[in-house]
A = this chain, B = another copy of it.
Amino acid sequence: MAITADSSVGLVDARGADVVDAVEDVARRAKIASRALATASRSTKDAALGALADALVAATDEIVAANALDLDRGRTNGMAPGLLDRLALTPERIVAIADALRELAGLPDPVGEVVRGSTLPNGLRLRQLRVPMGVVGMIYEARPNVTVDAAGLALKSGNAVVLRGGSAAASSNEVVVAVLARALETQGLPGDLVQSIDAWGRPGAVALMHARGLVDVLVPRGGADLIRTVVRESTVPVIETGVGNVHVYVDASADPAMALEILLNSKTQRVGVCNAAETLLVHTDAAADFLPTALAALGEAGVVVHGDEATAALAPDGLEVLAATDEDWATEYLAAEIAVRVVADLDAAIEHVREWTSGHTEAIVTRDLQASQRFVAELDSAAIMVNASTRFTDGGQLGLGAEIGISTQKLHARGPMGLAELTTTKWVVHGDGHVRP
């Protein structure tokens, strides 16, 4: 989506009252629809997820045809091949998307879980129950599979969803939302549970950000600009997702082979994702042993290295180490690039991470118990890995079953967000005529 930090003020001024009315009407219908779902049983919701999956597969031709329009427009606009690939929906991909919905049906229902409960000395019976949020707003970029993912996660957790997808996927999203809404109605559920506001363009997105009281939470998924804009503009509570300036620290006591394997997995297993490593810190006592091999391996894997002087001095012949600047320490490359720094000790490593991290994930490779404990206790990120790849910060990998995003904020959800993170709680108190003295 092209809402950027610079353009958003203009958007606010440009939005007409009619757009605000229209989007608020969508949100209001979503809220009403959500009530039918809030008290629905798990079996009703799971059956609906199966029906959505079947309907998507049945509509393959229609979806692929709409997607072709988006792809054509993308090619005309000079969209990069990687982005075109993420935009493309094939019959195989539609089957995979449908299968993901069926897997959601297999997960436990978060709604109704008793989070806390007790009987007070005065006899009041307390339960804190997990209940749906109500209406979840989702603002995201080009990938049309997110449309289905978000609808499925919202449905399973008992919520209605209002979707604002990227204009690049507008035709695909329009058809997909229509298919999902029709399928819900065949299950006796309101089609308004899944609605899109793409028709109202950017002013519609801004109206969604201001629909406080109608929309219970807004989840932006996309690049840093998109997320920044939503955070600044929104009066609806936002869960910030995804920016990961992720560090791997190789301690003096690290097993070098383990350190190398974790480094390569963290950096190269997939480079364009938020849990990929962006900076390597190496204890000075391990540097002479570890770095020449590690730098060679990174080079072989096609990773561009930005390093400090100590790193450059240890580079194997023929490997170019670009001089690292503060910008490198700050950058989430999301590419085959890494920043490397030799640090005097654990304190210096912790100091570096504190200064530059985005608070997503940090890993230490060590055999020293105290070093591992200090790294865990003194760093303040959503996930800390001890002798494990940073790539494990992922809802699927951590056993949450599904993931709507990875929160890098501290409020409500931190780290991978699954179904439970799309719920809130309600206190239910039973008395026998209890009053306060």
Chain A: residues with CB nearer than 8 A to chain B? 35, 38-39, 118, 120, 124, 126, 128, 131, 133-134, 212, 216-217, 231-232, 235, 237-239, 255, 258, 261-262, 264-266, 269, 354, 376-378, 380-389, 391-393, 397-399, 409-412, 414-416, 424-436
**Main SS of the interface on chain A?**
mixed
Contacting residue for A382 out of B232, B381, B393, B426, CB 8 A:
B426
Beta-carbon contact of B262 and A435 below 8 Å: yes
Whether the pair B377, A216 counts as a contact (CB closer than 8 A) is no
Would B388 and A427 count as touching, CB distance under 8 A? no
Choose one: B131, B265, B384; the contact of A435 (CB below 8 Å).
Answer: B265
Report if A427-B410 is in contact (Cβ < 8 Å); known contacts: A235-B232, A261-B433, A378-B35: no
A221–B34 alpha-carbon span in the complex (Å): 30
A-B contact pairs, 17 of them (CB 8 A): A35-B380, A124-B392, A126-B399, A237-B409, A255-B433, A265-B436, A269-B435, A380-B426, A381-B426, A384-B426, A384-B429, A385-B429, A386-B430, A387-B431, A388-B429, A411-B424, A414-B424
Quick check: A433 and B376 within 8 Å, CB to CB?
A: no
Q: Chain B residue with minimal CB distance to A354?
A: B35
Q: Is B415 a contact of A412 with CB atoms below 8 Å?
A: no
Beta-carbon contact of B434 and A392 below 8 Å: yes
Residue contact B388 to A237, C-beta cutoff 8 Å: no
**Are B120 and A399 in contact, CB atoms less than 8 angstroms apart?**
yes
Whether A388 pairs with B434 at a CB distance below 8 angstroms is yes
A392 / chain B contacts, CB cutoff of 8 Å: 124, 429, 431, 434, 436
Tell whether, in the assembled complex, residue B387 and residue A432 are in contact, meaning their CB atoms are under 8 Å apart: yes
Known: A237-B411, A392-B434. A380 touches B429 (CB 8 A): no
The answer for the CA separation of A133 and B133 in the assembled complex, in Å, is: 23
A410 touches B231 (CB 8 A): no
Cβ contacts under 8 Å, A231 to chain B: 212, 235
Query: In the complex, are the beta carbons of A428 and B38 less than 8 A apart?
Result: no
- Kindly report which residue of chain B lies nearest to residue A435, judged by CB atoms: B265
What are the 5 tightest A-B residue pairs by CB atom distance, in nearest-first order?
Answer: A388-B431, A265-B435, A410-B424, A412-B412, A258-B433
